[in-house]
A = this chain, B = another copy of it.
């Protein structure tokens, strides 16, 4: 009667299928925390057998890893922004740019970067730290402070700490709305200026002496 038998499932080329699964996984991981999203859920969402996830991504953790990677490293930040003017203005433009990129991801960003993800996994932490470093480098590049001094590790650590402030404040902004975008912008700008002054005391003079007084109680040349 009916024409033979219409296929029960569609055969996709690996890249397409992988992308489709990643899509669904990203959405679900953005809605619920890691533990609350079962591989069965992802498979059902993608209209696919559960075993296929393991076939393409191995462990569930690996799939999550791919999601985080794709989330944090994808933004096309190849924009050409003027990085001139006094330090304060450059910082404010930099922060503004970052908030814009975050705003596009919204809840998923919060879920992934915050505690919403898998807990204390070394690899995941590594990815996030790496993403923080990338964002930090981008920010410093914006500031025109892309220096390569000896204690680079300390600078990265400082910027990762700053990233903690960034995430926390963005969290307050995106989720509860307990902070406005302006609040976040102000907070992050001021904090970043402070860090730049402390981490790169030798460049503080760029801002001119009219802004701040003699700072750097530990690393400063004076005192």
Q: Interface of A with B (CB < 8 Å)?
A: 32-35, 88, 111, 114-121, 124-125, 128, 153-154, 156-158, 160-169, 171-172, 176, 178-179, 182-184, 186-187, 190-191, 194-195, 197-198, 210-213, 215, 217-219
Contact = CB atoms under 8 A, between A and B. Distances in A.
A218 B194 CA distance: 17
Contacts of A111: 120
Given A35-B35, A114-B115, A161-B169, 10 more contacts: A35-B119, A111-B120, A115-B118, A117-B119, A153-B178, A161-B165, A162-B165, A164-B165, A164-B168, A190-B195
B186 A161 contact: no
Most chain B C-beta atoms within 10 Å of own C-beta, residue among A157, A161, A179? A161
Given A161-B179, A213-B211, A118 B35 contact: yes
Q: Is the interface of A mostly helix, strand, loop or mixed?
A: helix
Nearest to A168: B164
Contact of A168 (B116, B120, B165): B165
A220 to B, nearest CB: 10
Contact of A194 (B171, B179, B191): B191
9 contacts: A35-B35, A115-B118, A115-B128, A119-B119, A154-B183, A164-B169, A165-B168, A186-B219, A213-B213
Given A33-B121, A119-B116, A169-B164, A218 B187 contact: no
A167 B161 CA distance: 8
A211 to B, nearest CB: 7
A183 B164 contact: no
Contacts of A120: 32-34, 111, 114-117
A117 B118 contact: no
Nearest to A215: B190
A13 B164 CA distance: 43
Contacts of A158: 179, 183, 187
Contact of A172 (B121, B160, B191): B160
Contacts of A115: 114-115, 117-120, 124-125, 128
